[in-house]
Amino acid sequence: MTRRQLSLHVVGVAHLNKKGGSDRRFEILLCPPGEPVELVPEPSNPVDPQAVAVYSVRGIQIGYLTAERAPWIGSMIKNGTEVRAIFQAATPAGAAIRVGLDGDEPVVPPPPVAKPARAGGDGFWPDEIPPDDCEG
């Protein structure tokens, strides 16, 4: 079976929530990878009627899907496509979530493997010696 999954950015995390003034960044810190999140279309949103809000499992909003992805995901939800989402990670701009489409259960992808720095054949990097420090 082919997995239909993708990672999406969550933005708007710098704003306080209207209900109770809760802090979105703080709520993001409480979300462990793999925890379910809820996607809620907001057709009455005065700024963007295609906005899709993202809520933690505790019912606290952590932000919105980006304006580029919200119309697509929102239309899927509106048309009855089963869209499941989990928290993936906190990011410098907000957060990332993992979404499974057509009922696919999303899975947090493994972290990227850091590539080792390039070095000489033996892995040794000598300190640079500036020209004025050379013996002549």
Please tell me the distance from the alpha carbon of residue 128 to that of residue 111, in angstroms, as a whole number. Answer: 33
Q: What is the pTM of this model?
A: 0.79
Indicate if the pLDDT at residue 50 is higher than 60. Answer: yes
Enumerate the domain spans of the chain: 5-104
Indicate if the pLDDT at residue 55 is higher than 80. Answer: yes
pLDDT (tens digit, 9 = 90+) per residue, 1-35?
556 899 999 999 988 887 777 789 999 999 999 99
Indicate if the pLDDT at residue 43 is higher than 90. Answer: yes
According to the model, what pLDDT value does residue 136 have?
A: 52
Class of CATH domain 5-104: alpha beta
pLDDT (tens digit, 9 = 90+) per residue, 96-117?
999 999 889 999 988 777 766 6
In this predicted model, which residue has the larger pLDDT, 92 or 127?
Answer: 92
Phi, psi of 58 (to 5 degrees): -85, 5
In this predicted model, which residue has the larger pLDDT, 81 or 111?
Answer: 81
CB within 8 Å of 94: residues ≥ 6 apart? 9, 10, 11, 12, 13, 24, 28, 62, 63
Residue 132: alpha-carbon gap to chain centroid: 49
